[in-house]
Amino acid sequence: MALARWDPFADFVPLRDAMARLFESSFITPGLIGGGIASAVPMDVYAEGDNYVVEAALPGLNPEALNVSVLGNEVTISGEYPQIPESRQYLFRERRGGRFERTITLPAALDADKVEAHYEHGLLRLVVPKAESARPRRIALTAGS
């Protein structure tokens, strides 16, 4: 059996690794702010023809407690979950109550007047058309001199 020399610095994490972990966690897994949800609204966003589709999971939320707005190329979803009674003694808790807001920026200008919103079974589905100026146009060519 060989003896290993004790290194008092072996358990330390290099500063670069610690900063990388801190930076990564602050952008990938946002924490909770004030007991509410801090940008933790899971969603999918994809392009479908001349539209963007935004699907956000908002389980247990009453549709009247939900706000959706479109400005320029940004879509904002906000609302408020009912407050949870303080008398409960949880064994395990992941769902939060309180206000939330999530704003996403899309790559093109949007037509706010033609947005379609549907909410069913805790899933909000927005169909957000691109503005006419952001859609590709076919240019007619003339031949000759």
- The arrangement of secondary structure in 32-86+96-134, i.e. its CATH architecture, is Sandwich (2.60)
Enumerate the domain spans of the chain. Answer: 32-86+96-134
Higher-confidence residue of 12 and 142: namely 142
| CA proximity to 27, closest of 40, 43, 12, 46 | 40
Annotate 105-124 with DSSP letters as a single string. E-SS-B-GGG-EEEEETTEE
| CA proximity to 45, closest of 106, 101, 102, 133 | 106
pLDDT of residue 25: 61
| CA proximity to 136, closest of 19, 66, 55, 50 | 50
27 CB burial (10 A radius; 0-12, 13-18, 19+): exposed
d(C-alpha 128, C-alpha 79), whole Å:
19
User: Is residue 14 over pLDDT 80?
Assistant: no
d(C-alpha 41, C-alpha 56), whole Å:
7
Residue 134, SS3 per DSSP? helix
| Model pLDDT for residues 51-100, shown as the tens digit of each residue | 999 999 999 888 999 999 999 999 999 999 888 788 888 888 777 778 89
